[in-house]
Structure 1
Amino acid sequence: MAIPRLAIDPFDEAFLADPYAHHDALRDAGPVVYLEPIRCFAMARHCEVVAALKDWPTYVSARGVGLSDFATEAPWRPPSLLLEADPPLHDRTRGLMNKVASLASLRDMMPGWRAKAEALVERLVARRHVDAVADLAEAFPLSVFPDLIGLREEGREHLIPYGATAFNAFGPRNRLYDDAMARAAEATAWVMDSCRREHLRPGGWGALVYAAADRGECTEAEAERLVRSFLTAGVDTTVNGIGNMLYAFAQHPEQWRKLREDPLLARKAFEESLRWGGTVQTFFRTTSSDIGVERETIPEGSKVLLFLAAANRDPRQWQRADRFDIARSASGHVGFGFGIHQCLGQMVARMEAEALLAALVPRVAEIRLAGAPVRRLNNTLHALASLPVELVPANGECKT
């Protein structure tokens, strides 16, 4: 069999507005397809996506995880030492960052995060009608994450447009990319400046990265780029992950009732929301050698687009894969990637979502849509710009 050739453009704005409408066609066409509009290969089934993510020597990240090939094109900013690096460089930098971003340090932050989440939710429940994106999904991470890194107070609003620009840059040079870059100059300058040692507060994760540089574990220039990785990995994916989760509950009130009846399902609920309504839709890899597929060959240097969100709803992997069910085990989803390049900010996202759910569940009986959601189109992210909801106050019937 030949590799199927499809006329699907995954960066067409109609596709980006509703990618799930196209995933069946991608998965059903075969384990590997060729997308003629962008002239690259693609995988959308769970088995093949996971295999490619695990096989970093064959499907490399150092040549860019976007459509651009760093072997032939200059990146828009210095490549990430984590996301856009392979071993041995990746092993060294990831090991350093894993020590800084420790689970123990996050657990120490949780009492403060829970208190902030409770105060925020109480204010919003009193208002009743809110925008779940601006008032919750953006407001809460921006109230806790910058302090974790040790960022200065002024200018933190630049983190979201910077993240959107970074993820737009993984796609083609289309209208979304051009618009993002045209708006990004101030945000990018603030982020680059904020990653410098002198602008980071003592005790934060940023300062700890520079302490590693002082010990000779990385250079001063590498430390600056590694702090920048925190700001890319820890904001946009978290903001959109929380926003998509709240949208899922608004669409499925029976699942919110299920969570209120059993609040211990909170962790499963967030994982299921990542599987069902994935924030990061796609990432690219580049082949390091010729790869035989069926009776054809994927040549060395080929870009391969991995549809993470399509893999997460693959019926070959999950029963009733299109159903949002917080009681299911979503283990094995690739919402945070898979293998050595799993998202650095995943623990932050999980704990922020846990803190928010712990505040919402006893106080909110229902999350009702109060207007039409608005998508924020992005070449990589499935994001919401606005989600008008009504937070229906609870009457104390939630189990605790």
Structure 2
Amino acid sequence: MIPAAEPRDELADTVRVEGARILATLVRTVGSLQVAEDAVQEAVVAALRSWPRTGVPAEPRAWLTVTARNRAIDILRRERARAGKEREATELARLRTPELPPESVVRDDQLRLIFTCCHPTLSPEARVALALRTLCGLSPAQIAAVLLSSEAAIAKRLTRTRGKIAAARIPYRVPSDEELPGRLAAVCGVVHALYTAGHAPLEGEAAVDVDGCTEALRLARLLHDLLPDEAMPAAVLALLLLTDSRRPARVDDAGEVVLLADQDRARWDAAAIAEGCALLDASLRRTGGVADPYQLQAAIAAEHARAPAYAQTDWLEIVRLYDLLLSVAPSAPAALSRAVAVAEASGTAAALAALDAIEPSPRWHAVRAELLACEGRYAEAVAEITTSLTETVTAPERRHRERRRAIWAARVR
């Protein structure tokens, strides 16, 4: 047993990660996403009530699996009683089996769940919301923050999506080869979104949700293993590996954000960088050098990874890659990152001019503040960084920006 004094948030991380895996298998058994979700949610609540007192079990997944199965049996019995008819006994019999499914079965079940979430009849917004809920365990409030929506709207969207899956009898399976092209881009988008949610968590004090990033990487590997000859899954896995390779150096010993320029590159994961670069090269060969957005983002990450020091980064190449990315997948985050690269390649004046063409946002103000500070315009930098401190800024990022503001304020004459 893990001591009962373990912090509650660690327990929440455990049940979230294991709960997602149990959900995938339970959906196949009960044939209903809603019933499986309700059962797993009740098991998670039971764990969060029990484990702080008794300690985390030596086999938390087994504990949660048994509890979720029992809850599912209770839910199915209640449904049978309300309907006034008997359900087939085989369904309940499958739930009562004492054996835990082997890893290979769990793996297949998770892939089935990913592809179910990404069925082409569901809207892109519904796919991402459902995946963030079922695969990442995010709450409706957290999903609302990711998708820039309201909690009530997300809750309604999830309910409608589950209903559509049931009404349309969307199959719980990995699609055939003929069906894959219609879903692959959505699946890759969901896996990337899961990693993004962990790389920059919207809640809590941590700068990185390690469990969330690890789970997204695991799912990316599953997808690549399923489709080893497809370029896009290889590019997504490459992007995640190259990004994650810097994770050990992203925060200091106190858990505070460390800027890329100040990171100890000796702490970067060399094995992940090598694997990511190899996957990117293989992906590009499959597309004849015509890059998709994931390949371009991975290529940018690879440029950072290859540079032995920040000052030796090929910023002109990174600007070129961002130009290509913006031509095929324009977005405000990419445009802001390009402006940062322009500052390194061509100077702050050129970067400030690039910012003028981008819609202001909290991050836009933070980037502009950094550029102004580079020019010694500290009073203006203080004003911009203050404007960036909205309620949407995460706690670690807020602390970082407040430290920067204090440094610049001390330099104002």
What TM-score does the superposition give when structure 2 sets the normalisation length? 0.29
More helix per residue: 2
Whichever of the two has the greater Rg, that structure is 2
More strand per residue: 1
